[in-house]
Chain A
Amino acid sequence: MNTRYLVLAGLLVTLLMGCRKDYEAPVPYTFSNMTGSGKFPTAIRQAINGVYTVTDGSDKFGAQVVLRWTYTHNGADTSHHLSVFTSNVGYFDMEPQPQTGGLAVGGYWRRLQDTEIGLVQLTVNVRRSGVVSPFTGRLATGDTLVVSGVYGDGDVTPTKRLTMTYARPLNPRPFSILAHRSGGRTSDLLPASENSVEIIKMASRLGATGIEIDVRYTKDGVPILYHDNTLNLRLIQKNGLAGPIEAYTYQQLNTLVRLVNGERIPTLEEALQTVVDETDLSFVWLDTKYIGSMQKVQTIQQTYLQRAKAAGRSLQIVIGLPSDDAVSLYRALPEKANTPVLCELDTSITRSINANIWAPRWTLGDQRAEVNAMKAEGRTVFVWTLDEPQFIREFIDQTRFDGILSNYACVVAYYHYSQQ
């Protein structure tokens, strides 16, 4: 073939292959990190928690949403955030705005499956006999809360109307909403990187009541949070380092490596300290990604279970066993008392090690008989890692699992809290 034809074909191929699009979803809102609840004391926050019907804005956020307050601690201070969870894989993250008259919140909304994001400003009002007035904290019979305001796209000043009217309280049934990778995947363009301290602090605002974190050892034996086998640009900023993370000491990783949003790779202890001291999370699943003794992780698990207990926190920390190798590491522990574990393998292995929790893959389906049997034996049953929104609804409505691990905690939260 003539050389020029080959060159032409090569150019066409290069053109076709060189067009991979980079997606971004920068948050257009800067949080004040105001402490205290401002004009939103406990009674008002509790009154606002609920399932709402959406009128203005339903084309964007669906006909129904869930509103729920969460908090994080910073020392003696507490910051409160109001989240909205939507059926179309969206969430709002809003903080009180005391400078605005009335009960006002502001922040941003995001749809996790794509890059849609925008600002939102809302006020809380009450409808009484058809008249809407600012909510002052007292609800009389027949009063209805109306949370309304404006939202926008990107960083433009919001102008589109959004009206949400209280419909009913949140479903009170206990259910674990477990966020994958400490809160969510980096590939979903969240404001914080997966397996970082920052995403742990965000997890409850994303809908989670618990988190799953990936534990590995550094070269010098420090348990850290990291998912992949290697340092790669999917998870970290460009720095010239590559290869297995176990080939680097903690000092090297701490000094030279930053996660994609600029955070440090945290140690397991830093992560659990954050959970205990700064969040309202009630469950931590330590996924075993390492090869080597489980003893260090067990010691840390027990230390932070004691610290949580001392702090009056109802917190479970369990070691996840995803493979036969991990089960062997667990069996090799000299002392297994006070070491709650979660088994991802079949029911016979779960029974043989007397795991507190059984967690099969969601792709195995409802597994009705097995779930019923495990629950009858007093075990908790979770399913992982389920992200497909329609299947999340099916699992919540049709099965007896006690919790779902998902990259989209906001969807699990929406379907769980809105279930009637």
Chain B
Amino acid sequence: MRRPGIYFPQAPIPGRWRKSIGAIFTTTPPELTEEIRVNVPAIDFNLQRGISKNWFITGRILTQVVQSNVGVGVRYARPLTDRLFISAGDDMHVWFGVLQIKDVFNSQAYGLQNFPNVSVGYRFTRDVQMTLKCEAILDAYYKSQVGTLAIERNAIRYNGLAVSVVIEQPLYGKKHVSLGLRAAYSNFNWQLWSLYDTFDRNLFYPQLIFGFIL
């Protein structure tokens, strides 16, 4: 039996689409923004399509207009029991940002990140399901430019990890929502590229996830 969900590790019916739209709010770490605490919202659009009983492809767009992130991935999911499900997959994301602000920024940057991931999902009742998702974050490429000066890093390096807990359940009627928290511990966060973080330490980026499953 399938229930509406984006994070729950169960493949859509082959040939069927799954979609959600919502927002992710990222709290900036004090190491970067110091006494100012900023909650950075991003529009979050997810798209998934079943390609076989257990395999499905994923697509995701996160955008804040001046900077965006587009990802595609593939996932294998299977039930262990009628309540417990697991999946494993890999997502590749490209992010890019451009800032042109008089007397402040003439900057742009883009990069590639890879997210190998595993998820465990548990269906508590017919309608409520919880997912624990663990992701490694790998940086594959980074290029940044200010004016005509540019720097580039193309070595693949481990950037950090992220753990998400997401509940998916009906909101009203037959509409379902995803509601969760993602705790990322990473060296670099694409949403804050314009801060040019130079710490070689993993910082904590808590994120609030909210999405309407369409």
Contacts and interface: CB of A to CB of B under 8 A. Distances in A.
Q: Chain A CB within 10 Å — which of B99, B107, B147, B196 has the most?
A: B147
A387 interface: yes
Contacts of B30: 234
B165 A388 contact: no
Nearest to B102: A346
A367 B130 contact: no
Interface stretch (B58-66, B89-97, B200-208): B200-208
How many B residues touch the partner, as a band? 35 or more
Given A17-B181, A19-B204, A21-B202, A229 B146 contact: no
Contacts of A19: 183, 185, 204
Contacts of A395: 149
Nearest to A367: B147
Interface string B125-152: 1001010100000000000111111110
Contact of A113 (B105, B200, B202): B200
B35 A230 contact: yes
Contacts, number: 114
B124 interface: yes
Contact of B106 (A232, A234, A364, A408): A364
A230 B34 CA distance: 11
Given A360-B103, A391-B151, A5 B199 contact: no
B198 interface: yes
Contacts of A23: 201
Given A12-B132, A234-B30, A387-B196, A364 B103 contact: yes
A361 interface: yes
B201 A5 contact: no
Given A361-B103, A395-B149, A17 B200 contact: no
A20 B205 CA distance: 9
A256 interface: no
Contact of B146 (A115, A187, A346, A362): A362
Contact of A366 (B104, B148, B201): B148
A365 B149 CA distance: 6
B69 to A, nearest CB: 21
Contacts of A408: 198
A388 B183 contact: no
Contacts of B82: none
B151 A365 contact: no
A111 B146 CA distance: 26
A260 interface: no
A261 to B, nearest CB: 17
A17 B35 CA distance: 19
Interface residues of A, number: 46
A1 B124 contact: yes
Contacts of A17: 181, 183, 206
A111 B200 CA distance: 10
A61 B200 CA distance: 15
Interface in A226-246: 227-230, 232, 234
A140 interface: no
A390 B202 CA distance: 20
Interface string B167-187: 101000000000001010100
Interface in B62-81: none
Contact of B128 (A5, A228, A365): A5
Given A17-B206, A363-B105, 11 more contacts: A13-B181, A19-B204, A21-B204, A111-B200, A115-B201, A187-B199, A363-B104, A363-B196, A364-B103, A368-B148, A394-B150
Interface of A: 1-2, 5, 9, 12-13, 16-17, 19-21, 23, 89, 111, 113-115, 187, 227-230, 232, 234, 345-346, 360-368, 387-391, 394-395, 398-399, 407-408
29 contacts: A1-B125, A1-B128, A1-B167, A2-B125, A12-B132, A20-B204, A21-B202, A21-B204, A89-B198, A113-B199, A114-B201, A115-B201, A187-B34, A229-B35, A360-B103, A361-B105, A363-B104, A364-B104, A364-B146, A365-B145, A368-B147, A368-B148, A387-B198, A388-B151, A388-B198, A389-B198, A391-B144, A391-B149, A391-B196
Interface of B: 30-31, 34-35, 99, 102-107, 124-125, 128, 130, 132, 144-151, 153, 163, 165, 167, 169, 181, 183, 185, 194, 196, 198-202, 204, 206
Nearest 6 pairs of A and B residues by beta carbon: A365-B147, A113-B200, A16-B183, A390-B151, A365-B146, A114-B200
